[in-house]
Structure 1
Amino acid sequence: MRLGQFLFVGCLSLASLVSHAETLNGLYQVREPVSSQSPQERDQATQRALETLVLRLTGDAKAAQGPGLAEVRKDPQQIISQYGYDAGPPESLQVDFDPASTDRALRQAGLSLWGSNRPSILGWWLSDSTEGSNLVGDGQASAEPLRRAAQHRGLPLRLPLGDLNEQIVATAPNLEGADPAPLREASERYGADALLAVHAREEGGQWQAKWRLWLGDQKEQGTVQGADTGALADAVLLAVSQRLAPRFVTRPGVSSEQLLEVQGMNLERYASLGHLLEPFGAQLRSVDGDRIVYRVNGSAEQLRAQLSLAKLQEIPAGQAQSLPATGVEGSTPAAFPDSGAQLRFRW
């Protein structure tokens, strides 16, 4: 298939993505609670919104106060497209930041950015209070603080249905245990990239939680506290965001330009791969049968983490030329010439 033909029909398939990761909507929209609509309160909330956004995009708690963003802190309006008030509850100032202006300002400040394509997280959240123990299910009112916190911290969070079988699995020992096997089995039907287990307890009017996160073979864990369930959820998801961000951010001045080859392509996969590679400034170099080559800017570790979200498998260098072509109608299992790619993957 010619390159032009591939691109033309590939563009038609953008609506049917098959990646396991999610493109997060509303990434540049921030809500910050306010007590009034006074100009002073609005200015303070706008500054908080800027800090929330920078942390959401970089995973770096100190980034918003860096010298590179001094002019933006002085005049946030230069990267804001609009703002308004949300009646809530709670009442909030909603600030819509312009994605292009924001990204440009952050990159000029030398900051690392995490794109909108992020790993989907299935959250198993068990709350113990004086009223008893409750697994937070997707349709429960108790799910709202978790969803609000996930949006605030820029994470695509899913919740289980919370049916009887899941309640039997989501016990405190399983949520706090080092072996995710029981939860993984119950999570398979949801198709998420990462598994988050949280055991929250109320003690003396305060909340605390132990959390564990599994993404592939990597594990993170921690303990947080909060004045109420909303604050606790925000603290958990903030911690998760800060642990995940370093795996996916594109670092200015550190990333290198290299060629990436992917085998086993078809039209749906072409669209999905394009979204996954957006943070790396991918430029299409060639298409040969079911094999595609991009020029990208990013470290090998960043690319491996990003492509793992779509379950791509890396091809060892010694096997790269021996794999047969599959996927695109009319392709043949002939040996391909060397593309010069430093990294090779296949679906």
Structure 2
Amino acid sequence: MTHLYQAQVPVADQGAAERARALRAGLGAVLVKVTGNSLVLSNPEIISVLAGADGYVSEYGYVSYTRPGADQGSGLAMNIQFSETAVDRLVRGQHLQIWPADRPELLTWMVVDTDAGRQFVSPEDQPALLALLDRAMQGRGAPLLMPLLDLEDRRVLSEEDAWNFDLEKLSEASARYNSSAWMAVRLYRSSTGQWRGARLLKVDNSDNLRSLVADSPERLIDQLVGETVDSIASHYAFVPQFNAQELTLNINHVENYQAFSAVTGYLESLELVRTVIVEYVDGDRLGLRVAVEGDVGLLLDTLRRDSRMSEEPAADTADATANTYLFRWGRP
């Protein structure tokens, strides 16, 4: 995910008081995105830090802004870019969790009960709800994947199946998208005017069910995304450790200097990785010793999700030792 260190905050004017408020709100939004934890803003130390938000700003500017939802209207907003280095130093200094930028897409099957019957939310049907969902996911730095809802999807899964949270059919339909996280959502407006619903979230081998209620679709979607992304991030985030763990990566098909530079640059860019040391180059095989600040399993999960890295079975005794893994570089 990009733009994790950017925020857009609506403002009433360009005065100093509104600017200071927007900088505090913007830094708070960035910290929520980077950590993957909305509760970070209840941390007393972070509340104190927000008062000096201007010390973390790289640049800002004013742009026209359109409010989302039923109360759409034009206004003014601040676009704020925060210093990645300064924010990273803050997060690590406060021993907060970090949700790496390489994040799994959340496949979302959403059904809404309308006067015309139950419909999947898609660009063709219920585009306003889809726009609210997309905006809320972007605000949390979480990638959204919507199903195609083509004949193949509908052959496996109907609106009623998704509404009833048919786990077997949802799992079968989701397998096509090869996503490690998916959720099914059902929404309706009650006779009292409230928006109600529920969502079933599946991450790796765990799933959980939550109920939702709010007085508007905007607030319902914000509530849905907030607690869902918190839950997803808890599976993939790490708290930087003083003592790093080490593993050895043997990588095949590194055929030239460009590939060598791409492999090492990619690994060094990952938040989990503290250092990358080249141990050997043997033909097209590269041996690397990697120090990891979090759980080794999180790094391996990241590598396995990258289309350029394909894990291979150990071919010899050296590759079969503890904390040694074999990958192939290059798109399949």
TM-score by length of 2: 0.77
The alpha-carbon deviation at position 119 of structure 1 amounts to 0.4
Which residue does the alignment assign to 1:126? 111
Aligned counterparts of 1:191 and 1:275: Cα–Cα separation in 2: 26
Matched to 2:228, the amino acid is: V
Higher strand share: 2
Per the alignment, in what secondary structure is the counterpart of residue 65 of structure 2? coil
Aligned counterparts of 1:166 and 1:199: Cα–Cα separation in 2: 17
> Which residue of 181, 196, 208 corresponds with 2:183?
196
Which residue does the alignment assign to 1:55? 32
**Contact 1:149–1:237 (Cα < 8 Å) also in 2:** yes
Distance 1:256 1:152, change over 3 A: same
Per the alignment, in what secondary structure is the counterpart of residue 104 of structure 1? helix
2:281 is the alignment partner of 1:293: no
Q: What are the equivalent positions in structure 2 for 1:197-236 lying under 5 Å apart?
A: 197-203=184-190, 204-236=192-224
Distance 1:186 1:36, change over 3 A: farther
Per the alignment, in what secondary structure is the counterpart of residue 66 of structure 2? coil
Which residue does the alignment assign to 2:70? none
Per the alignment, in what secondary structure is the counterpart of residue 116 of structure 1? coil
**Contact 2:161–2:169 (Cα < 8 Å) also in 1:** no
Distance 1:86 1:176, change over 3 A: farther
Report the identity percentage: 23
2:108 is the alignment partner of 1:113: no
Per the alignment, in what secondary structure is the counterpart of residue 115 of structure 1? coil
Per the alignment, in what secondary structure is the counterpart of residue 241 of structure 2? coil
Which residue does the alignment assign to 1:160? 147
Structure 1 stretch displaced more, 292-301 or 36-45: 36-45
The alpha-carbon deviation at position 302 of structure 1 amounts to 2.8
The alpha-carbon deviation at position 47 of structure 1 amounts to 2.2
**Contact 2:195–2:213 (Cα < 8 Å) also in 1:** yes
Distance 1:73 1:278, change over 3 A: closer
Per the alignment, in what secondary structure is the counterpart of residue 150 of structure 1? helix
**Contact 2:196–2:212 (Cα < 8 Å) also in 1:** yes
> Which residue of 88, 101, 104 corresponds with 2:65?
88
Aligned counterparts of 1:242 and 1:125: Cα–Cα separation in 2: 19
Which residue does the alignment assign to 2:325? 344
> Which residue of 241, 245, 256 corresponds with 1:253?
241
Distance 1:189 1:112, change over 3 A: same
**Contact 2:250–2:325 (Cα < 8 Å) also in 1:** yes
2:134 is the alignment partner of 1:147: yes
Provide the alpha-carbon RMSD of the alignment: 3.4
**Contact 1:256–1:299 (Cα < 8 Å) also in 2:** no
TM-score by length of 1: 0.74
> Which residue of 144, 161, 182 corresponds with 1:173?
161
Structure 2: tracts of 5 or more residues without a match: 68-74
The alpha-carbon deviation at position 130 of structure 1 amounts to 4.1
Per the alignment, in what secondary structure is the counterpart of residue 221 of structure 2? helix
Matched to 1:214, the amino acid is: K
The alpha-carbon deviation at position 341 of structure 1 amounts to 5.2
Distance 1:218 1:93, change over 3 A: same
Matched to 1:136, the amino acid is: V
2:20 is the alignment partner of 1:43: yes
Which residue does the alignment assign to 1:11? none
The alpha-carbon deviation at position 187 of structure 1 amounts to 3.9
**Contact 1:119–1:194 (Cα < 8 Å) also in 2:** yes
Aligned counterparts of 1:264 and 1:176: Cα–Cα separation in 2: 46
Distance 1:53 1:212, change over 3 A: same
Which residue does the alignment assign to 2:228? 240
**Contact 2:9–2:78 (Cα < 8 Å) also in 1:** yes
**Contact 1:262–1:293 (Cα < 8 Å) also in 2:** yes
Distance 1:131 1:60, change over 3 A: same
Distance 1:56 1:207, change over 3 A: same
Distance 1:50 1:226, change over 3 A: farther
The alpha-carbon deviation at position 251 of structure 1 amounts to 1.0
**Contact 2:35–2:237 (Cα < 8 Å) also in 1:** yes
2:78 is the alignment partner of 1:102: no
Structure 1: tracts of 5 or more residues without a match: 1-23, 325-334
Matched to 1:25, the amino acid is: T
